[in-house]
């Protein structure tokens, strides 16, 4: 059996289905039995609890071959670093208490940097915690690039203003990756368990894409091939996010991340290779994005 955290989410749900299709029993974790019900119907054992509850996680990690872990948050998270630390500490304690021997952690490009990386800082912190667990636990840190799905944040902006804007500079190449490809890499690792000790693997997407190019591709998919990308300042981004209902903690993280991407503080460490390059192109994702845009009406 394999335990999957964040099982109702983008990577977690796909991992659960892939494992079940491979005939591997799955224990799917989430905060709501109702949201987990489709996974139960697909054959998963479900376990309902909070991701910062070490006792709940210890039980959920006990007796399984491997666990998939991540640090979840939302736009309403009040104190990002504290909320993430609570989950990270609970996960680390649960690894120790449960005796599980194989752990995959969804981390991020840039997690090697110890400050000034916005939301990525919590993944840096968690990588440090995981490096301190007993040496007989095999830990795989999968450092994903920016998820394509972040671009769903562009939907309302494009509709309201006829452009996309963010504080990332227009022409900086960014490794962007489909969450489905991240999930598939994680599922493969959970099934194969082909690593020993602590390993880091980056997942860099099909190719690097700048925000200007991403905007052109999204625009082309909705019949607006000249959709402009407009870089705003970090302060302007923060203001817009606060207005959209994000907490100051999360808005501040995103502004800091944009600056970290622009300065090169957050960037891939590995050379591109078959292992860190994934299949789905932003052109393909743009079609899915366009369907969501059409659904806005
Ligand atoms: N966005 C990026 O570009 C990027 C890049 C690299 C790494 N990452 C990492 O990837 C993670 C996201 O992975 P994902 O897309 O698979 O996850 P996700 O779909 O965003 O969320 C996974 C699950 O977390 C639970 N959740 C949502 N908000 C929560 C909250 N405030 N507190 C506790 N649980 C909450 C939800 O499950 P229930 O409500 O059912 O419990 C949700 O289904 C990020 O958190 C980050 O650590 C992201």
User: Residue 82 is encoded by which pair of tokens?
Assistant: 């504290």
Task: Please indicate, yes or no, if residue 113 is contained in any of the structural domains.
Answer: yes
pLDDT in tens, 54-73: 999 999 999 999 999 999 99
The three-class DSSP label of residue 40 is helix
Task: Please indicate, yes or no, if residue 66 is contained in any of the structural domains.
Answer: yes
Main-chain dihedrals φ then ψ at residue 70, nearest 5 degrees? -150, 170
Task: Please indicate, yes or no, if residue 70 is contained in any of the structural domains.
Answer: yes
143 and 109 Cβ atoms separated by less than 8 Å? yes
Task: Please indicate, yes or no, if residue 210 is contained in any of the structural domains.
Answer: no
Structural domain count, the chain: 1
Within 13 Å, how many C-alpha atoms sit on residue 55's CB side? 0
- Contact 241 CB / ligand 1 (< 6 Å): no
64 and 1 Cβ atoms separated by less than 8 Å? yes
The string of DSSP codes covering 78-128 is SSHHHHHHHHHHHHHHHHHHH---EEEEEEETTTT--SS-GGGHHHHHHHH
Q: How far apart are CA 196 and CA 194, in angstroms?
A: 7
- Contact 78 CB / ligand 1 (< 6 Å): no
- Contact 79 CB / ligand 1 (< 6 Å): no
Please report, rounded to a whole number, the percentage of residues in the chain having pLDDT higher than 90. 99
Task: Please indicate, yes or no, if residue 114 is contained in any of the structural domains.
Answer: yes
Q: How far apart are CA 87 and CA 238, in angstroms?
A: 25
User: Residue 158 is encoded by which pair of tokens?
Assistant: 């494009």
pTM exceeding 0.75: yes
Within 13 Å, how many C-alpha atoms sit on residue 48's CB side? 9
With tokens 């907490």, the residue in question is 247
pLDDT in tens, 48-58: 999 999 999 99
Counting atoms of ligand 1 from 1, which one is nearest the CA of 76?
31
Confidence of residue 135 (pLDDT cuts 50, 70, 90): confident
With tokens 């489709």, the residue in question is 38
Q: Which domain holds residue 85?
A: 2-147+177-203
Q: How far apart are CA 277 and CA 184, in angstroms?
A: 12
pLDDT confidence of residue 66: 98
- Contact 68 CB / ligand 1 (< 6 Å): no
Task: Please indicate, yes or no, if residue 282 is contained in any of the structural domains.
Answer: no
pLDDT confidence of residue 39: 98
Domain of residue 119, CATH code: 3.40.50.720
Task: Please indicate, yes or no, if residue 216 is contained in any of the structural domains.
Answer: no
Q: Fill in the DSSP letter of residue 289.
A: H
Cα of 73 to ligand 1 centre, how many Å?
A: 6
Task: Please indicate, yes or no, if residue 287 is contained in any of the structural domains.
Answer: no
């Amino acid at each position: 059996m394999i335990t999957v955290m964040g099982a109702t989410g983008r990577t977690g749900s796909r991992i659960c289905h892939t494992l079940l299709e491979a005939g591997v029993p799955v224990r799917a974790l989430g905060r709501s039995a109702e949201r987990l019900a489709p996974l139960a119907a697909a054959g998963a054992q479900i376990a309902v609890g909070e991701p910062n509850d070490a006792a709940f996680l210890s039980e959920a990690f006990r007796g399984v071959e491997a666990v998939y872990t991540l640090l979840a948050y939302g736009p309403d998270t009040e104190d990002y670093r504290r909320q993430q630390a609570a989950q990270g500490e609970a996960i680390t304690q649960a690894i120790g208490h449960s005796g599980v021997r194989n752990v995959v952690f969804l981390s991020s490009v840039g997690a090697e940097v110890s400050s000034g990386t916005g939301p990525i800082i919590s993944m840096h912190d968690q990588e440090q915690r995981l490096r301190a667990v007993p040496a007989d636990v095999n830990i795989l840190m999968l450092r994903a690039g920016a998820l394509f799905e972040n671009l769903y944040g562009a939907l309302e902006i494009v509709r309201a203003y006829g452009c996309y804007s963010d504080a990332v500079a227009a022409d900086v190449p960014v490794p962007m990756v489909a969450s489905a490809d991240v999930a598939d890499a994680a599922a493969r690792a959970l099934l194969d368990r082909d690593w020993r000790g602590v390993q880091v693997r980056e997942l860099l997407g099909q190719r690097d894409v700048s925000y200007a190019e991403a905007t052109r591709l999204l625009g082309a998919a909705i019949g607006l091939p000249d959709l402009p990308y407009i870089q705003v300042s970090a302060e302007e981004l923060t203001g817009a996010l606060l207005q959209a209902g994000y907490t100051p903690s999360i808005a501040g993280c995103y502004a800091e991340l944009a600056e970290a991407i622009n300065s090169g503080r957050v960037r891939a460490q590995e050379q591109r290779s078959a292992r860190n390059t994934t299949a789905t192109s932003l052109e393909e994702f743009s079609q899915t994005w366009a369907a969501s845009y059409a659904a806005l009406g």
